[in-house]
Chains A and B, each alone.
Chain A
Amino acid sequence: MVSNGSESSRILNEIENLKSSKIEIERQISVLEAQLRDINGNKDHETNSNSTSPCSPLSNNGDLGFGHGLSPDMIYRYSRHLLLPSFGVQGQSSLLKTSILVVGAGGLGSPALLYLAACGVGRIGIVDHDIVELNNLHRQIIHSEAYIGQSKVESAAAACHSINSTVQIVEYKEALRTSNALEILGKYDIVVDATDNAPSRYLINDCCVVLGKPLVSGAAVGLEGQLTVYNYNGGPCYRCLFPTPPPTTACQRCSDSGVLGVVPGIIGCLQALEAIKVASGVGEPLSGRMLLFDALSARIRIVKIRGRSSQCEVCGESAAFTQQQFREFDYEKFTQSALSASPLKLKLLPAEARISSKEYNERIAKGEAHILVDVRPAHHYKIVSLPNSMNIPLANLEARLSELSTVLKKGEEQTGSGSAASLYVVCRRGNDSQRAVQYLHKMGFTSAKDIIGGIESWAHDVDSTFPTY
């Protein structure tokens, strides 16, 4: 008899193999299609055999003698750009010669990369160390289901390539750090910050200042977005505006606060637009101004921000921030948060005040009388919850203590033996539950224990069918 476990792992393996074959086949198809387009393009336009190689957009192989270096294929592909009087051949030629680095292939990076590849930026670098997950796909529209579990950079590069095989894509499957940032950013004309955390934003800003690169910075959380261009034409840098990092508790993350998918989409598109403006020298980039987008009220506000600060520690008059100082700067310490957006893992309680999800499961299986308090916000509780739990959000715990005492007393009566019912506290990942237990201990509920790792560990270690989010 074949056990269910080995049968399902065989199927999973086969799915994995088929998925990677599918990706490989799609890649081969797109290369062949590009070759075909090249052959046909040359036939249509009866040009000489000196065709544009699909991988060398920066070369002038296709120069027809009109002085702009655009091949017939390029003229056709970018014709709607060329038809714009204010953009035209000049703007497009500049784009083709520009290199842009996009840091982060997530919600902001997805649309930014798609547009930058489509519009013919000569060389595009993509930096990300993450892999594609199912809960990314509602907003990170460059990725598709076939790439779940694979590198975001590979996935994004394949998507860019399938839109425009003439653009050179450089893949950096690593996190940006002080040790590699100077080398990577140094190879590009413009940097797009599409990251999701404070230390990365300071790191990228400082590196851009040291190297003298314009920085197109976007951010989005919840239903709001922000956009500006830093370090451009004597304008301010990120540190001119925010010399001191905010407290970590003020840094909302999409994985905690949620985000409406289209909101980073809009900001990412605007980042592509600003990068195109800087690259082509057309228009007025959003420097010294900031765009604030509020999706709910459908309002966009463009505000005037301060200029370069003479007291700025990296770009100010007396600032002596060198490459060496940059390499030695500890951005995680400076912002008190990690460069990767990995969730916080607090350790506030002694071991005896904690219990694993497995052990909790064993105890309830034995019929132990207990009360389970779920301290997540009510809208989290509505998504999914453990059976027989009661929801008292951490923010309301203080106000609802008497309610908790009553429930505990009832539980005590039910045990009959007069012994107290146990009190367990759970949250999403096991941080708030520790805060709650700490508070409960202080208020006299000394038996309270937190379930280590929250409902995520329940889903991981006890019930694999339990939904996570």
Chain B
Amino acid sequence: MQLTLEFGGGLELLCESVKIHNVNVDPAEDGGDKLTMKSLLAWVRTNLIKERPEMFMKGDSVRPGVLVLVNDCDWELSGQLDTTLEEKDVVVFISTLHGG
């Protein structure tokens, strides 16, 4: 499944400062033809996060302070970890900023 993953707000520093990743994730890993956010997160942690994984994840979800957007929509609105992804979806992980 072709997906575009984007990291921002400093999270890109965990994946070698690359903000946009065009990836191909096999939904079969999820035991079917659907890919959920839960398994995408596990995939990201294994394949894209190069350092300090605790700055990205906590348990099987993202750490506090990280917004997850599926096609420009807060994942809270689509079922969080249970959100199912489709071909060419864009998933954004962004850390909230505090500076000014």
In which size bucket is the chain B interface?
20 to 34
- Contact (A226, B76) CB under 8 Å given A292-B8, A297-B19, A303-B92: no
Given A250-B63, A306-B76: A242 and B96 interface contact (C-beta under 8 Å) = yes
Question: Considering the chains assembled together, what is the distance between the CA atoms of A301 and B12 in angstroms?
Answer: 17
Majority secondary structure, A binding face? mixed
Cβ-Cβ contact count across A and B, 8 Å cutoff: 107
Name the residue of chain A whose CB is nearest to the CB of B20: A297
Of B32-40, B64-72, B81-89, the one contacting chain A is: B64-72
Q: Which of A77-85, A100-108, A357-365 contacts B (4 or more CB under 8 A)?
A: A100-108
* A249-B55, A303-B74 as given contacts; A221 in contact with B97, CB under 8 Å: yes
| Interface-lining segment among A50-58, A251-259, A276-284 | A251-259
Complex: A243 Cα to B9 Cα, angstroms:
18
Q: Are A220 and B97 in contact (CB under 8 A)?
A: yes
- B99 within 8 Å of A (CB atoms): yes
Residue of B nearest to A240 (CB): B76
Tell whether, in the assembled complex, residue A219 and residue B97 are in contact, meaning their CB atoms are under 8 Å apart.
yes
B10 within 8 A of A: yes
Bound state CA distance, A114 and B72, in angstroms?
32
- Chain A residue contacts of B69, Cβ below 8 A: 303
Say yes or no: A301-B72 contact (C-beta < 8 A), given A252-B10, A264-B100: yes
**B-facing mask of A98-118, CB < 8 A → 1, else 0?**
000000101111000000000
Could you mark each residue 175-209 of chain A with 1 if its beta carbon is under 8 Å from any beta carbon of chain B, else 0?
00000000000000000001111100100000000
Q: A197-B99, A224-B8, A268-B100 are in contact. List 16 more A-B contacts (CB 8 A).
A: A196-B100, A219-B97, A219-B100, A226-B97, A243-B64, A246-B64, A246-B65, A247-B65, A250-B95, A252-B98, A254-B100, A259-B99, A264-B100, A304-B73, A306-B74, A306-B77
Binding site for A on B (CB under 8 A): 8-10, 19, 54-55, 63-67, 69, 72-74, 76-77, 92, 94-100
Kindly list the 8 A-B residue pairs having the minimum CB-CB distance in the complex, ordered from nearest: A246-B65, A244-B64, A221-B99, A219-B97, A306-B76, A108-B100, A196-B100, A305-B74
